[in-house]
Amino acid sequence: MKKTTIRLADGRELIYYDSRDDVDRAAPDRRPLPKVATASEIRRDPLLGDHVAIASHRQDRTYLPPADACPLCPSREGRPSEIPAADYDVAVFENRFPSLAGDSGRCEVVCFTPDHDASFADLTEEQAALVLAAWTDRTAALQRLPQVAQVFCFENRGAEIGVTLGHPHGQIYAYPFTTPRTARMLASLTAHREATGANLFDETVARERADGTRIVLDTDHWTAFVPYAAHWPYEVHLYPRRRVPDLTALDDAARTEFPQVYLELLRRFDRIFGEGDGQGPDADAAARTPYIAAWHQAPVRADDRAQFALHLELFTIRRTAGKLKFLAGSESGMNVFINDVPPEAAAQRLREVATK
């Protein structure tokens, strides 16, 4: 992997990750951009104890531009973009409209491919491995920043999820605090260890593998299953067989096998609702299942960091063909989820739609 770092016209950092060493990424950003001005502020809710990012400047962010004006495509003559090069493999840059900035953290955009009409599921295994390498490298770099407490790599896909750019991409948030969801996991982890002496993550994965009814994929180095108490209609948790706290700690065997496993999961997601395989540049975008893919990593300075288990949670808000799962009164008001699809049925469906 070759890594090249440049600065955009407004001073933001952009990093190219290439599979070949002979590429030239010296093309400058010639856009007349003003210096980025953000108004991000972190406020703490005294009743719930969680944090809210106030970021009014995001009201002006780019919203669903036409393909010929996409800021994540490579630059063309007369059509400059966020990426000055005429082509790229994977590119990561500081978000122009960040939710977190400065002492409040950092937000980055990860462009998976220069192909505007593709999806992560369309990547080759080599391309997916390069994205994993970029996630890992950025996790390591962001964890070294003194203001960062937790690094979160994720992808939102589909208009139903609320994406503002159609180009295949993800994001990385570097929070200045431990997120509420992770804090709850850590509390459960600690309570279980004090009560039993065992690791709750290890026992959860072992229990799913022993039961088998919710297993979707089980390989030499990864296990994917629908959790017993899944919140979402179709939700899969993907764990490496060897427990590690974050992406930087994955061994070579797990890294090598990850692209095959993850691409298989994504392609199965695109077959859940019987709308075609959802693959290829000519595929109808409506056939692609909207999803969120979220890497859960240990907080940077947690006391029991080594007890945390890196895992990816992949879920869709679509509950059946043409129908979405809305977070209404119970979910939004009380954070009590009601799932219309039994986890065992979801797992069975995901096993049935194995890609050819």
Catalytic-residue membership of 169: yes
Of residues 186, 222, 191, the one with CA closest to residue 300: 186
pLDDT of residue 169: 98
pLDDT of residue 38: 83
Contacts of 16 (CB under 8 A, 6+ apart): 2, 3, 4, 5, 6, 23, 25, 85, 88, 89, 90, 91
Contacts of 73 (CB under 8 A, 6+ apart): 67, 81, 83, 114, 116, 167
Cα–Cα distance between 88 and 105 in angstroms, integer? 27
- State the pTM of this model: 0.94
pLDDT of residue 275: 56
pLDDT of residue 283: 45
pLDDT of residue 228: 98
pLDDT in tens, 50-71: 999 998 878 777 777 898 999 9
Q: Which positions of the chain have pLDDT values less than 70?
A: 275-286, 355-356
Contacts of 35 (CB under 8 A, 6+ apart): 10, 11
pLDDT in tens, 199-241: 999 999 999 999 999 999 999 999 999 999 999 999 999 999 9
Point out the catalytic residue in the list 51, 57, 167, 169: 169
Contacts of 68 (CB under 8 A, 6+ apart): 79
